[in-house]
A and B are shown apart, each in its own frame.
Chain A
Amino acid sequence: MTETIAHPPESAGPGNKPVPPAESSRGPVTWLPTLVETLAAIVIALVLGALLVALSDPDTVETLPYLFSYPADFFSAAFDAVWSSYSALVQGSVGSWNRISTTLERSAPLICAGLGVSLAFRAGLFNIGAQGQMAVGFLVAGFIGFTYDLPPGLHTLVALAGGILGGALWGGIAGFLKARTGAHEVITTIMLNYLAVSILLYALGKEAFQREGSDNRQSPPVADSATFGSVADTHLGVLLAFAAAVGVWWLLERSTIGFEMRAVGANPEASRTAGMNVAKVFTLAMVVAGALAGLAGTMQVLGDQASISPTLAGTIGFDAITVALLGRATPLGTVLAGLLFGALSVGGVAMQASAGTPKELAAVLQALIVLFVAAPALVRGLTRQRATGGGSTVMAKGWGG
C-alpha cells in the first residue's frame, strides 16, 4: 500500500508528456544495492568467521585467562590464527593456476545445478530436487561411460546427452505432477530425491554397475574416451557450465519460452488469462531445471574419470539451492555465487590441511553469508546502510504455488 515510497508517482512529474525513456532502470542502478548488500553480507560473515577461528584456536584460548594482563598475547595469537586460516583459504582457492582450476572444476556442477534451481524459481517453482536429478544424471552418464566402447568425442557426447536427459526426465516428473495434479513441487521433488538415492543404491548393488570381482558399491571408472577433454588442466565441463549460464540467460531474457516462464512465475493468473498454458510452462521449466542438474551430475563422472558411488553428489544438489538464492535467481548471480561456494569449498580443504581449521568453518562461512543475504535488513542495520526499499528476495513465490 505504500508503493509510492519506492516509486514516486509519475503523473505528478513534470509535464503531461511521457518522460523520455530512461534506460537506467535496467542498468546497474537496480541491482547495485543488492550487490552492495551481498558484499556486505560476505564481509560480515568473514568477520564472524574470524571470531570463530580465533576462539577455536587452542593457542588463542590459552591466552584468554590473562587477556587483561597481557592483551597483546591474545591479539597476536588470534591474529595469527585468523591470518593463517584466511590466507590458506585464499591461497588454497585462487593462489595459483592449479588452485584456480580446481576451484573452477568444483564450481562447475554447483553453477549448473544452481542454474536449474534459479530457472525453476523464476517460473515460480521451488525445486528442491537438484540432488535427485543429479543422481539420475550421473547414473545414466556413468553407465554409458563405463559400459560402452565408443570413439572418443562421440562417447562423451552420448554420455553427456544421456546424463542431461536423465536429469530432465527426473525434473520433468515433478513438473508433470504439478501441472496435472497440482501436487506441490516441494513435496514431489523431495520424494524424488529419496527415490533417486534408492535407485542409485539398487543399481550399485547389481553386477552391471559394479567393478569386476568386487562387491563394493562402486562402479568401474568411466572410460577414457568418455571423459571431458581438458585445457590447461581444467576439464571442459567448466566451459559447459558457463555456456549453460549464457543459455539460461538467453532462454529467460530473450526467448518466448523464458517470457512465459517469468510471466507464470510472477503471476500465473494473468499468464493464463493472456493465453499461456501454465501447466505446460511448469512442466517445461522443471524439465530444463532437471536437465541442468543432470548436467551437473554428468560433470561429476565425466569430469575426471570418476566412478559412480552412493555419495558422489555430496551435498551439491542442496548447496545449489543456496547458490541460487545467493545469486538472486539470475544467471550471472548464480555463476558468481557458484564460484564463491566453489572457492570456499576448495579453500576450506586448504584451511584444514595447512591451518588445521575444522572443515565446518567453510560450511559456517557459507551459512553465514546466506543468512545475511536472506536478512538484508540485518545487514543494513549492521553496516548502517540506508534502507533502499524494493526488497529483492526471491523466496516468497516458491511456496505459493
Chain B
Amino acid sequence: MKKKAFWGILILALALLLIYAPILILAAYSFTDATSIGFHGSFSLQNYITLFTTPELKDMIIGTLILALAVALISTVLGSLGAIGAFYSRNRSRFILGTVNQIPVVNADVVTGFSVCILLVVVFGMSKDSFIPLLAGQVALCAPFVYLSVLPKLSQMDPSIYEAALDLGASPATALWKVVIPVIRPGILSGFAMAVTLSLDDYFVATYTKPATFDTISTYVVNATRGAQTSVKTALWALSTLLFVVVLLLVLIGQRGGKKQERKEAEA
C-alpha cells in the first residue's frame, strides 16, 4: 500500500514538473535582461516596464480584455435567455435548439471563424473594421457554453417556486427575474467565466474576423513569434508571468468561494 502511494505521488510530481517547468522558467527569466532563456542575465524589470509603456502592447492588452468582457456579456444574456426559453419549450423545439447549440461546441474553431467570415464579410459585404464580425464570431463560439452551463441548473430547480410566485401575485416577468434567475445564478456566472476564458484564448475566430489594425493577445503573440523584435518578445514573457499569477489568484479565490458556498449549503 505504501509503495503504491509513493508511485502515485511520484507520477503526480513529475507531471506537475512537466506542466509548469516552461512557465516557471520563463517567469524567472522575465525578471532579467536576457534575450533568450539559458543566457546569463542580470536582474531587471525592463520587460515589465516595456509591457506597460509601449502603446502597441498596452492597446493590445486592453483591447483583448474589453473584447472578452463584451463577448462574455452578450453571450451570457443570449445563452441564459436561450436556456430558460428552451427549458420551458416543447420537447421538439428544445431538441432542435440543443442540437444546433452543439454545433459550435464540437466544430473546429477554424471552421467557425472561416464560415462566419465568409457569411458576414464575403456574402453580406460587412467591413471587419466595424468589429461586428469579430463580436458575432466570438459570441457564436462562447454562447453555446453559457447555454450548456445554465440548462442543468434549471432542471435542478424546484418548479413549484415559480408557481408559488405567480400564485402570490407576481407577474411572469417578475417571477422570472426575482425567483428563477437568482436560483440559476451559479450556472449563469460559470457560463460568464467560461465565455471570458474562451474569448481570451481564441485565436482562430479572431484571426479570420478581426479588423486588420486590431490585435488580441493570441493574434499578437503568434505574429510576434514570426518577427525578431527582441524587446517585444521578452515583454511577452512578462505578460505570460502576469497572466499566470492572475489566473492562480482567481483560482484560489474561486476555491475559497466554492468552499464557503458548500458550507452554506450544508448548513441550510
Same complex = no
Give me the interface of A with B, judged by CB distance under 8 Å.
Answer: none
Give me the interface of B with A, judged by CB distance under 8 Å.
Answer: none
